[in-house]
Chains A and B, each alone.
Chain A
Amino acid sequence: SAVISQKPSRDICQRGTSLTIQCQVDSQVTMMFWYRQQPGQSLTLIATANQGSEATYESGFVIDKFPISRPNLTFSTLTVSNMSPEDSSIYLCSVVEGEDYGYTFGSGTRLTVV
């Protein structure tokens, strides 16, 4: 299965600033997904990133707040913009591979906004 390198693993940021999270996959994948996991909660899908096109955002998430880049089939970034303490969460990327569509998750980025 694919191996995902996600960076940074954690960060503490000042409110009003932005943080860019990177996910690098060791194989080419068509789709990458970004999730948010708030403390004690489940995983909520933020957006689906397809190479060469704009990301598709779920209800409640907007591009201005969570811009996503997908420059090639092995890499994607998620930016959390103009952060507030409510953005403190774990952010995870995920990919699905092949016809078996097994899903793999990155190790997550634990973001704390102060």
Chain B
Amino acid sequence: AQTVTQSQPEMSVQEAETVTLSCTYDTSESDYYLFWYKQPPSRQMILVIRQEAYKQQNATENRFSVNFQKAAKSFSLKISDSQLGDAAMYFCAYKDFGNEKLTFGTGTRLTIIP
């Protein structure tokens, strides 16, 4: 069974600095999707960034980028120029093509220090 591990329950970063959230996963599949979702205090789950495993290029969305290491099964999220609005729970998630289930990690709570 696929598993997703987020080893950092909590992280903090100074405003305007850069922070990296870690995620590793376990799978025997070669084709799959990886996601980072943000859950602010409003509770809504919001997609931050998505990566297809067949793409070698790391995905980037404005201040958010990933470091996707397929061989190492690692998918970290880098947030540059951190802003107060980035404070949230961040969930890493995995989905392969043959499975309807999106498997989530346990989350990392990110605090932004003004």
Whether chains A and B associate is no
Residues of A participating in the B interface, judged by any CB pair closer than 8 Å: none
